[in-house]
Amino acid sequence: MSAPPPTSQPTSTLPWPSPTRAWVLVALLMVAYTSSFIDRQIMSLLVEPIRADLGISDTEFSLLAGLAFSIFYSVMGLPLGWVADRWSRRMLIIVGMISWSIMTALCGLATGFLGLFLARIGVGIGEAALSPAAYSLISDYFPPERRARAISAYAMGPYLGSGLALIIGGQVIELAERMGEVAVPGVGVLAPWQLVFLVVGLPGVLIALLFLLVREPERRGLAPRGTDLSLLTFIGGRRTLFMLLFLGFSVFGIAGISFLVWIPAVFMRVHGWTAGDIGLAYGAILLLTSVPGVFVGGWVSDRLTARGRVDAPITVAAVVMLALVPLVLITPLYPDPKGALALLAVTSFGFGMLNGLPGTALQSVVPNQLRGQIIAAYFLIGTMMSLGSGPTLVAWVSDSLLGGPMQIGVSLATVGAIATLASAAMLWVSRTGFREAVEVARQWR
């Protein structure tokens, strides 16, 4: 079931899909992305019961929340990105989504560290199929001047998923804890945290089937025949630009992912809140500030692009990162929980503004034949640095350098502020190279 071959009609004269069809696609992709992040974020509320049942440390838990997922999510992204550039992108999404949903449910059947670690690896492999195919599809449904908003709408998924996981998950956890162990027919007796994984995992199979309604679009923005389309060769031709883009956005991800993983622990340990309390509060913040922040970031980028600012996604990202540095530093350290929540809301809005900009920037400087692979390459570096090392780095600094679990807020503030400042500097430097690359890419449209 291959994607349609490149048309002989110049891509610049192809009619774009209708706005209705295009936004229906974005809505479905956003639901899929939301589901994937519910599966990921639920781990942050299960820190204490998983640690207690499995007898593991913060650092070992961070391996479950980060490395177990991220290493295979990152590595498998490249071959799956190659598939997305050559095969039906909607079918790739369907297969991947069914796979990660089943593996999430299997997390609930794990009885030890190794079993849970292996199930998290399976989740990572399945989820690696989504974004390379999604970004490529969106780029063939939307023209460049409307693309940032569409990609940003898709990129709302992490915050919608994280917010819903925190709000619903926190309440489900408290309900499950009041129920105690539950006997599931054909499965056996499950602890409350195991039941949560079953509840959040299985609905994804039904969501996956909705993608049977999606049409595979014509591929546009194709580089001329005879062009060397090796990903490494293409990146090597602008190695400085891609190094700055990949590292700039990836290092910032250390701060963003670490906040998602460790802010609940800061409130539970330092401020004495329950999982339900912080889940409801942080989930509401993500839904009410991060989600609109994502769209605002895309809207600002599109407005600047329409006015001729071809480096808009990079400039917007660098300025927002710089403004976030003091917020990232102060929020985990603020002594009053209400004040800390207010700061967290502003910080989360800023995090949201940045979420759709990496994909927008990268899709602007590569031909269609590499769009899935370039996103996979970015996710390889970004996920390993942010999800793979971010939570573990924060935990290691707290456990090894600062005196233990009660210093998690100090560690989060320090690591996050340094990462955010470094990222802003790298993206600012990349602007000239980015403008040159966009001018070259315009020849393919």
Question: What is the pLDDT, as a whole number, of residue 353?
Answer: 92
Measured between alpha carbons, how far is 416 from 346 in angstroms, rounded to an integer? 15
CA distances from 224 to 10, 28, 229 (A): 11, 32, 10
**Residue 279 and residue 167 in contact, taking contact as beta carbons nearer than 8 Å:** yes
* Domain-located, residue 37: yes
To 10 degrees, what angle do helices 113-127 and 47-54 make? 140
Better pLDDT: 18 or 97: 97
Arithmetic mean of pLDDT, 373-386: 83
Q: In this structure, what token pair is assigned to residue 77?
A: 């992204």
In a domain, 330, yes or no: yes
pLDDT (0 to 100) of residue 227? 63
What pLDDT sits at residue 424? 96
How much of the chain, in percent, has pLDDT values that exceed 90?
A: 26
Does 299 reside within a domain? Answer: yes
Domain range enclosing 130: 15-215+234-444
Q: State the CB neighbour count (10 A cutoff) for residue 42.
A: 28
**Minimum mean pLDDT range among 26-35, 172-181, 292-301:** 172-181
Report if residue 2 sits inside a domain. no
Q: d(Cα 301, Cα 312) in Å, to the nearest integer?
A: 5
Tell whether 245 is covered by a domain.
yes
Length of the chain: 445
For the cut 80, the answer to whether the pLDDT of residue 124 exceeds it is yes
Is position 127 within any domain?
Answer: yes
CATH code at position 67? 1.20.1250.20
| Residue 5 located in a structural domain | no
Question: What is the Cα–Cα distance from 422 to 255, expressed in whole angstroms?
Answer: 11
C-alpha–C-alpha distance, residues 211 and 311, integer Å: 33
| Domain assignment of residue 227, yes or no | no
Half-sphere exposure of 134 (CA within 13 A, CB side): 33
CA–CA dist 328, 348 (Å, integer): 10
- Which band of pLDDT confidence, cut at 50, 70 and 90, is reported for residue 175? confident
Provide φ and ψ at 261, rounded to 5°: -80, -40
3-state secondary structure of 182: strand
Distance, in Å, from the CA atom of 58 to the CA atom of 77, rounded to the nearest integer, reads 28
> pLDDT (tens digit, 9 = 90+) per residue, 270-321?
888 887 788 788 888 888 998 899 889 989 998 898 888 889 999 999 999 9
- What is the number of domains present in the chain? 1
Tokens of 48: 């204490």
pLDDT at 5 over 70: no
